[in-house]
Structure 1
C-alpha cells in the first residue's frame, strides 16, 4: 500500500489527475453464436459477451472485484503487458502469483498503472480458458498528446474460434491417442468477435486503429484493399512510423496503425483477415481461412464480393513488414553484454504416458503446489535458493538490475510467439526459418551473422520465433517479481512450454505484500499458501525437501521413439478392431472401410463397451488427426 501512496503523492506534486477506476466483474456463462455457425456456451462478464473494454489513464488506480459464478471451474485474470511494478501479486497467472479463484469466491485485483500507455488486453490465465471468451481489451490513455494526429481512436480484435469448450478440446489434445501433438484446428476466424463486419468511415480522415490478436493459436494476416497502414505502436511501445500494405499479427500481439481514408466516397473496400494456413496440420474443407469484412464509405454503394477462400492467392498479394526492423520512438540503445544468460532448447517429445509435451531443456513446466510468489514471501533467507521453487517449474533466479539475455532455440517445425510478463524486451537477433527439421538453426555466438545486433532494437513483450530457428532477447531485471516467460499458443502452454523468472526475491520480500483476500481465496480453493513447491516449510531440511511435488511423467522407455509410439497405437487400434470384428461377425467377411472409418468405428465400439477412460472420451478428433498425418 506504500507504493500506491507514493504514486498518488507524485501525482499531486506533478499536478497529474490520478483517478480510481473500479469494476465489479461477475464471471459467468452466456450463450452466443459469434460466427453464425454454432451457438455455444461462452464465458462472459456481468451477463454480457464480448467482455467490456477497460479504459484508464496513465497513473490511474484500477480496482477490479472478480466474482467467479462458473459453477464448475476456477478462473483468474491476467493483465497482459502491464508491468505491475510494486504489485506482482496482481499479475494473475494461477499457481504463479496467486491461487485460482474457485466457484463462488471473489478475488480483488488492486493496482496502479505505472508509467505505461498504449494497447493492452486482459484474459483468464487458467488453462486455455480465455479461448472460451474470457478476454477483453485494456487501453491506457497517455497524459500527454501522442506524437501523431488522428480523428478517431478505434479498436479491432482478431481471434480464432472453436465450437467446443476448451476443457473438452484439452481432453482430446493431451491424450495418448494424439501422440504427434497435433494442435486443435479452429472452426472460424473472428473479426471483432463476429464475421462479415462493416466498418463505417468518413472520407479524408485518419483513424488510429488498435489491432489485438486475442486468439488461442493461429496468427492472422490483415489488410485493407486500396489502403496502407502506418505502424506507430507495437505491444504498447511507440515506434518510428513505418508504412506497410499489410500486417502479420501473432496471438497476444498488439499493433497500432494509422489509416488515412480516401478523399472521396466513391467506392467501398474489402477489409481482409486470414488465418495463417502454415500453422495448421490440415485444413478442413469447411474452414474459412480468408474472411472478408468491409470498409464502408457509402452504404448506398455496392459492397465488393467476398474473396474466395484461397489462402495462397490472398497472401501472395501482400507484403507484411518484418517487425524486427521496427525502431522504438524512445531512445533506448542496445543493452550492454548480459550479466546472466538463459539458454533454452525447445523440443516436442512424448513422455511415458504417451502424451506429446513441450519441453525446455528436457523439462515441461508443471505448476507447483504453492503459488511461486507466495513461496518467495514465505521463504525468508531461503528465497535465493532455486531448489525451493520446484524441479519442474523451470525456475531461474535473477538479481536486481542484471542485464538478462534469453537465447531460445526452436527445435520444432512450428511458429511460436513467446511472451514475457512484467517487462518489454529487446529483440536483438532472430534467424530465418530452418529448412531441415533434423538440423534446426541454433544460435551460435561465433557466427557473425547471428551477433549483428541492431543499435536500437525493437522493444515489445511478445515475439515470434521462426520454425527451426532462434531468437535472442535482452531485458533489464528492474521489476522485482515472479514472471512467466511462455509460448502464447495456449495449447503449447498447456503442454508445458514455460519458465519462471524469480526476479530479485529479497526486494520482493522487502517492498511488496499480498493482501488478505488472496490468502482467503487460497483457503476456498483448498490450495496451500505456505511453503516450498511441495508445500513443505520449517527447518532448512524441510524447505529443501521436494517430496510429493508435482512433476512431469517419466520418460518413454529407451529407444521408444515417437514414430514407434504412433505405429504401436495404430497397430493396437486395428488389433482391437480386428478382435471385435471376429467376435461380432464370427467368420463372416468384414466390409472394407477406409482407415478413417475404421478408427471412427473403433472409437464408438470402445465407448459403447466402456473401455475408454475419462481422458479418452473425446479422442475421435485425435484419432482422425493420426489418420490424416499417417495417410500421407
Structure 2
C-alpha cells in the first residue's frame, strides 16, 4: 500500500487575507495550510517542524480515527506532549478506510484561529464509482478571522474580570475576504481601490458542468449559513459518510463541520454572489465570494436581494434573507428547527446503529468560580494534567486528581452508549449553540429536541433506521416552545460504538469554550493500546516516572515492541515502538516544560492559566 509523506513547517508570519496585515501562524507559509490528499487506508507520514521560538504546538487529524495509532491523535496532554519550540515530531498513521472530507489543525489552544489548519481529503479508491457524479471538485474553506492574536483573546477569557473574545472582523473564503476592507474604506473615506489587494475568492465554473464543493468551517466560534444566488446546492456527503442527496438553498455549517455539495452550473453566463451569514449570534458580520462562469466579464455580481424562503430546504433549519451590501442582521430571530434532521444516511452505505447498552447524560453549565468564568460538564471543567493521559494510564500512574481534572468517563471496549447532551443558559442569560466533536470515533446523530431528554418519552422520536453518521453534532440553543413560560434549551442524542481503545477527548469545538473547560475524556480500556513510539518526547512528571520504572526493571524493550503486530488497524503493520526508559528526552533534547506565549509585550503561560481556574 502506498505511503504519502508530507513536511509541515509551522512558523510565525504576516497574513493579510482581508487587507489587514496581522501576525499569524502559517504552515508552509500558507493560510489555509497545505492540503493532504490520500486514498482509504493509505499510510500517512507528516514531519512537523515547530519553527515558532516562543510556543509549543501540535497537529490533530480531525476525523481520522487513529485505529491502532492512538498516540498520533495530536492532542496535547492526552496522547502526546506538545511539540517544543524549534523541535520536530513525526506523525505516522493510516487514513480512515472510507472516503470523505476531513481536516487537520493545531490542537494547542487557539492556534487554529490564527491559520494553523488545512483540508485532509480521502479520495474514493481507484476504480470505485461514488454514488454521485461530478466533473470537477473545488475546496471552499470558511474561516472567521480575528485581527487580535489568540494569545490576547485567551488571556481575556482566563482573566478576572472575564473579557469575552468578541466577534471576528472578517469571514475568509479560501483565505480571502474583501468585505472588511470595503466597509473600512467607506467609513474612513479611503479610496476603495486599495481593496483590490484582497479580492473576493472567485470560483470559476463552466456552463453545463457539475462541481463538487468540499465545504469546511475552520472558524473558532461561528455557525455559518452559505448560499449561492440562483444555484441550489445538493448535499451528498458529510464528514466521511454519503448522504441521501438533499437539495438546499442554504447550507448551515457549524464549526468543524464538513460537507460535500454539488453545484450545477446551469444558469446564464455571468457572475453570482456566494453569501455567508452568521447563525445564533448577534454579529454584524457577513462574507462573500463569487461564482463566475467562463466567458463572463471580470466584475462583481450585481447587488441584489437573495432569499431562501423554504425552511424545509435548510440543513440547520433557518430562514435566510440577505441583501448586499446590507444584510438583514435580525435573521436569527426567525428560527424554525423542525427540519434539521432531514439529512440522513445513504441506503446501502449506512450502517444502522446497534441498540445502546446504556445512556449517559451530559450537562454543560456556565459557572463563575473564583472570579473566573468557566464551562463545566457534569460539574467539572476540563483541565488536563502535566503529562499525557495515555502515557499515565499505560504506566498505571493516573491519580484521582488526574481523573477528576480530565473529566474521565470509563468505557469498556465494545460498549454502545447513547449520549444525551443538554444545553443551558450562560451566566449572562444568553443561550448558545455548541458543536460537539469526538476524537477517535464518529457517531450516529439520532435526534434533537427541547427541554430535558426523557428516554421513555423521546426515544420513539429518534431516528435509529438511517441516521447520519459524523464526528461533529450541533447542540441547539433555546427556542420558544408552545405552552412553556420561557424559552426552552435544546438537547441532542448521539449513539457511539466504542471499538477503538485509547484516551479520546469529547469537547465543544468552539475554541473559546474549550479553553474555558468545555469537554471530557473517554477512557476506552487504554491498557489494550500498544506502547508509544520510542522517539516520543516526555514532559511533566514523565521523565521522573519512567526513570523510576527503569530502576525497577519496568518497561517495554525495543525488541519486544518490534515483535508486535497491530491487529486493530487491519493493515498488519509491524509495530516498532517502545516505552522510553530514560529520564532524558530523545536526541539530547530537553524535556518540554510549559512554554511561554508571546504577543507583543504580553506574555501568557496558557497551561498555567488553564490550571489557575
TM-score interval, normalised by the smaller of the two chains: 0.7 to 0.9
- Check the 8 A contact 2:151/2:604 in 1, yes or no: no
Aligned partner of 1:128 in structure 2 is 110
Q: Tell me the SS of whatever aligns to 1:374.
A: helix
Mapped partners of 2:363, 2:386: distance in 1: 26
**1:452-601 maps to which residues of 2 (within 5 A)?**
452-467=462-477, 468-508=489-529, 512-518=530-536, 521-522=537-538, 528=542
Answer yes or no: is 1:57 the counterpart of 2:44.
no
Answer yes or no: is 1:32 the counterpart of 2:15.
yes
Aligned partner of 1:327 in structure 2 is 344
Mapped partners of 1:334, 1:44: distance in 2: 41
Mapped partners of 2:340, 2:244: distance in 1: 12
- Check the 8 A contact 1:368/1:390 in 2, yes or no: no
> What is the CA-CA distance between 1:290 and the residue it aligns to?
2.4
Deviations 1:90-131 (A, max 9, x none): 000100000011101111101111312110000000111111
Mapped partners of 1:321, 1:156: distance in 2: 27
Answer yes or no: is 1:269 the counterpart of 2:272.
yes
Answer yes or no: is 1:299 the counterpart of 2:296.
yes
- Check the 8 A contact 1:244/1:319 in 2, yes or no: no
Mapped partners of 2:89, 2:447: distance in 1: 40
Aligned partner of 1:279 in structure 2 is 281
Deviations 1:521-565 (A, max 9, x none): 22xx55626769xx9989xxxxxxxxxxxxxxxxxxxxxxxxxxx
TM-score relative to the length of structure 2: 0.76
Q: Tell me the SS of whatever aligns to 2:514.
A: helix
Unmatched runs of 5 consecutive residues or more in structure 1: 1-17, 433-440, 539-611, 617-632
Q: Tell me the SS of whatever aligns to 1:168.
A: helix
Number of corresponding residues: 494
Mapped partners of 1:496, 1:536: distance in 2: 32
Answer yes or no: is 1:140 the counterpart of 2:122.
yes
- Check the 8 A contact 1:230/1:243 in 2, yes or no: yes
Answer yes or no: is 1:220 the counterpart of 2:224.
yes
How has the CA–CA distance of structure 1 residues 150 and 28 changed in structure 2, closer, same or farther, with 3 Å as cutoff?
same
Aligned partner of 1:341 in structure 2 is 359
> What is the CA-CA distance between 1:308 and the residue it aligns to?
2.1
Mapped partners of 2:22, 2:392: distance in 1: 39
CA RMSD, 1 decimal:
2.8
Between Structure 1 and Structure 2, the one with more strand by share is: 2
Aligned partner of 2:183 in structure 1 is none
Aligned partner of 1:240 in structure 2 is 244
Aligned partner of 2:419 in structure 1 is 406
Mapped partners of 1:464, 1:536: distance in 2: 45
Deviations 1:240-290 (A, max 9, x none): 11111111100100011011111642x3211111222x324xx4xxx5x22
> What is the CA-CA distance between 1:319 and the residue it aligns to?
9.1
**1:77-226 maps to which residues of 2 (within 5 A)?**
77-143=59-125, 144-178=128-162, 182-195=164-177, 196-226=200-230
TM-score relative to the length of structure 1: 0.73
Deviations 1:569-612 (A, max 9, x none): xxxxxxxxxxxxxxxxxxxxxxxxxxxxxxxxxxxxxxxxxxx9
How has the CA–CA distance of structure 1 residues 319 and 204 changed in structure 2, closer, same or farther, with 3 Å as cutoff?
farther
- Check the 8 A contact 1:90/1:110 in 2, yes or no: yes
Deviations 1:192-213 (A, max 9, x none): 1101222111001100110000
How has the CA–CA distance of structure 1 residues 388 and 514 changed in structure 2, closer, same or farther, with 3 Å as cutoff?
farther
Q: Tell me the SS of whatever aligns to 1:309.
A: coil
Between Structure 1 and Structure 2, the one with more helix by share is: 1
Deviations 1:139-166 (A, max 9, x none): 1111022111100011110011111110
- Quick check: which has more Rg, 1 or 2? 1
Mapped partners of 1:453, 1:199: distance in 2: 37
Q: After TM superposition, which residue ranges in structure 1, 4 or more long, deviate above 6 angstroms? A: 313-321, 535-538, 612-616
Answer yes or no: is 1:419 the counterpart of 2:437.
yes
Mapped partners of 2:337, 2:233: distance in 1: 10
How has the CA–CA distance of structure 1 residues 313 and 111 changed in structure 2, closer, same or farther, with 3 Å as cutoff?
same
Aligned partner of 2:48 in structure 1 is 66
Deviations 1:349-387 (A, max 9, x none): 0001x11100011100001122011122212xx88xx94
> What is the CA-CA distance between 1:305 and the residue it aligns to?
3.6
